[in-house]
Structure 1
Amino acid sequence: MKLTYTGKTKDVYALEDGNYLLKFKDDVTGENGVFDPGANTVGLTIEGAGRAGLRLTKFFFEILKEKGIPTHYVDANIEEATMTVKPAELFGKGLEVICRYRADGSFLRRYGLYTEAGQALDAFVEVTLKDDGRQDPPISEDALDMLGILSKDEYKVLKGLTQQIGNVVKEELAKKGIELHDIKFEFGRVGENKQIVLIDEISGGNMRAYKDGEYIEPLDLEKMFQ
């Protein structure tokens, strides 16, 4: 294996067969020793966080596989905290795609003049650029096309997959009495035909979820699926 990328919460290794191995770490994002899944820096290390994130990721990726929804997932090893994935090409330097079901987080901060906390949203899709230095700015469909990051046709596919996958996660959480407010995904292009597929992970740190009106911390959410 050859280390090709060192990330905040996982490292990436190239395998001889052309696939990649993601090594989930116990480092989590946050500031001043406080866990914050939305932060852009590593704040602390929590023992078992890597395996917990991978366990939930494996759970959801295998459901998506059964439903024929395209992802980069090949398989996972919980004990070693690793996931094997197909190579994927990023859109530009990376996009984050959020599917929102309730007004919360940055949506509420930006649009608070017109909305209130918890207002229902109809699987609203929002795209942001992965750019820590500029606080991951939102970007429109037109700008994505004009800047050559992805075409309008690709945007339609991206939006459709985001809502489809978001609804799968929402339904699985609902089975445990958990309400999903929003979830963040990443996508890439795979293979010669440049198929758009879900990449990265689906873990507690990628979503805001509530039970009986109380916010569920990501690691607590992951324990509910053990």
Structure 2
Amino acid sequence: MQLIYKGKTKDVYSLRDGQILLKFKDDVTGENGVFDPGANTVGLTIDGAGKSGLKMTQYFYELINSRNIPTHFISADLDDVSMVVKDAQVIGKGLEVICRYRAVGSFFRRYAAYSEEGQKLDRFVEVTIKDDERGDPTISDDALDMLGILSKSAYQELKQLTQQICDIVKDELAKKGLELYDIKLEFGHDKSNGQLLLIDEISGGNMRVYKDGQYVPPLELERLFLSE
């Protein structure tokens, strides 16, 4: 096992068989000690956050795989707090895809003159470039195409997959009386065949979820969602 990359919330290793191992950490993104799934810096460390994130990730990936939606997920080891995945090439230098069901976070901060906090949105999809130095700027499908990052047809595939996956997550959360406000996904291309894949994790650290109008923190979300 060889270390490839030390990330904010996970470390990435290559395995001898060509697969990849993701080792989950207890670090979460945020600012000034406050969790924020859209932040581009580690804001705090929460004991147990890594295993909590992996539990939810395993649940959702197994469900999504069962729907024949392409992902990189192969298996998870909760004791080791790690996940084995297919080797995937990130898009460009890395993109994040956000699906928004309500106007909160950076969306509301940007468009407060035209929206009310918490107002409903219709599966609004936006893409940001992974670029800490420039604050992860948003980018349009036209710019993605013109800069050679992602063609317009590939963007449409990305958008459709995002909405399909996020609706699955939203519906599952709703079964426990939880409402998904927004969620951040990542995609890449399978190095073996070029297929577009969902990659990274699907956990409380990547989403804002509310219950009865109150925000649910990541660890509490995992406890509520995975409780019998």
TM-score of Structure 1 vs Structure 2, range by shorter chain: over 0.9
Structure 2 equivalent of residue 176 of structure 1:
176
> In the TM superposition, what is the alpha-carbon distance from 1:18 to its structure 2 partner?
0.3
What is the CA RMSD across the aligned residues, in angstroms? Answer: 1.2
Measure the CA separation in 2 of the matches of 1:202 and 1:139: 22
Residues 145-160 of structure 1 mapped to structure 2, 5 A cutoff: 145-160=145-160
**29-38 vs 54-63, which deviates more?**
29-38
Structure 1 equivalent of residue 62 of structure 2:
62
The AA in structure 2 aligned to 1:128 is T
> In the TM superposition, what is the alpha-carbon distance from 1:15 to its structure 2 partner?
0.2
> In the TM superposition, what is the alpha-carbon distance from 1:42 to its structure 2 partner?
2.3
Structure 1 equivalent of residue 218 of structure 2:
218
Measure the CA separation in 2 of the matches of 1:113 and 1:29: 27
The AA in structure 1 aligned to 2:118 is G
DSSP-derived class of the 1:149 partner: coil
DSSP-derived class of the 1:153 partner: helix
Structure 1 equivalent of residue 96 of structure 2:
96
Q: TM-score, normalised by structure 2?
A: 0.95
Measure the CA separation in 2 of the matches of 1:207 and 1:34: 14
Measure the CA separation in 1 of the matches of 2:184 and 2:116: 21
DSSP-derived class of the 2:222 partner: helix
> In the TM superposition, what is the alpha-carbon distance from 1:218 to its structure 2 partner?
1.3
Measure the CA separation in 2 of the matches of 1:171 and 1:185: 16
Provide, for residues 25-75 of structure 1, a one-character-per-residue CA deviation record: whole Å limited to 9, x for no partner. 112223444433333222332221110000000000000011111100000
Answer yes or no: is 1:119 the counterpart of 2:119.
yes
Measure the CA separation in 2 of the matches of 1:114 and 1:135: 23
Where do 5+ consecutive residues of structure 2 fail to align?
Answer: none
Structure 1 equivalent of residue 75 of structure 2:
75
Q: TM-score, normalised by structure 1?
A: 0.96
> In the TM superposition, what is the alpha-carbon distance from 1:112 to its structure 2 partner?
1.3
Structure 1 residue runs of 4 or more that deviate by more than 6 Å after TM superposition: none
* Distance change >3 Å, CA 35–CA 100, structure 1 → 2: closer
Measure the CA separation in 2 of the matches of 1:25 and 1:49: 7
